[in-house]
Structure 1
Amino acid sequence: MAKKTQQRTFNDVLSTLGSQRFDVAPAQEGAKRTPGAFQVRKYECAAEIADAGDGTVALLARPGYILGGEISRILDRGYQKFLKTSKLEIPATADHLRAVHNFSQELNEATGATSLYNESLGTTSDRYVYDRVKGRE
């Protein structure tokens, strides 16, 4: 069953994150960046959040480990998980996955997001790419 905490306003979330030792800084501007977005960091992991317009928090970039200054995505290939950025892909270690899991849990709690049972068991992947037989997707 999903556990939902009390919804908080964006300004409340920013102050809560700062008090819980998250590094909160304006997100780097780029082609796909939202104005007023913030990058939240802790445990060598990061996510990007912004005001959703109604005062609540919108998650722009899912939590991921920081590699080469970018937030990585977790890629599951069936036999192993990998951390992937636009320029780099490395095998994920248990320490990487533990850091992403802890960061995600603390971020969800601070923002008042819904906490799902399967996510509380361990790290979930952003993409699942298993070996496929040619011609059968």
Structure 2
Amino acid sequence: MAKKSPKHSFNDVLSLLGSQRFDVAPAQEGAKRTPNAFQVRKYGCAAEIAPAPDGTVLMLSHPGWVLNGEISRLLDKGYQKFLKTSHVEIPATADKLRAIHEFSQELNEAIGATSLYNESLGTTSDVYMYDRVKGRA
């Protein structure tokens, strides 16, 4: 069964993250950025959050390792996990995977997000691209 933490308001979450040594800064402006979005960083990882209409926290991006100032996505190709941005794709090391996992757990706890069993076991990927099933109908 999923374990839920109590929901906090967006301002409470920002102050809680700051007290837990997260770096909290306004997200960089871009073409499709949400107003009042913040980037949260710790352990070399980052995620973007914004206030939801009900006053709680909305996750704008999955937590990922920061590569060249961009939050990477975790790509699983079956034999290896990779960190991928719009410009680069590198193999994910065990240290980076541990950092992403710890960052995700701490961020979800602070936000009050649902804690799922499979996510508690280890890092889950954003994209799965197994080559051995490619082209199957």
**Structure 1 residue ranges (4+ consecutive) displaced by more than 4 angstroms after TM superposition:** none
Residue 97 (structure 2) pairs with residue 92 (structure 1): no
1:134 shift after superposition: 5.9
1:133 shift after superposition: 5.5
1:53 shift after superposition: 1.1
Task: Work out the number of aligned pairs and report it.
Answer: 137
Measured on the aligned residues, the alpha-carbon RMSD in Å equals 1.0
TM-score, scaled relative to structure 2: 0.97
Which residue does the alignment assign to 2:103? 103
Which residue does the alignment assign to 1:42? 42
1:135 shift after superposition: 3.7
What is the rounded CA distance, in whole Å, between the counterparts of 2:6 and 2:85 in structure 1? 33
Q: C-alpha deviations, 1:6-39, integer Å up to 9, x for none?
A: 0100000000000000000000000111010000
Matched position secondary structure for 1:48 = strand
Q: Where do 5+ consecutive residues of structure 2 fail to align?
A: none
The code of the aligned residue for 1:4 comes to K
1:124 shift after superposition: 0.0
Q: C-alpha deviations, 1:60-117, integer Å up to 9, x for none?
A: 0110000010000000000000000000000000001000000000000000110101
TM-score, scaled relative to structure 1: 0.97
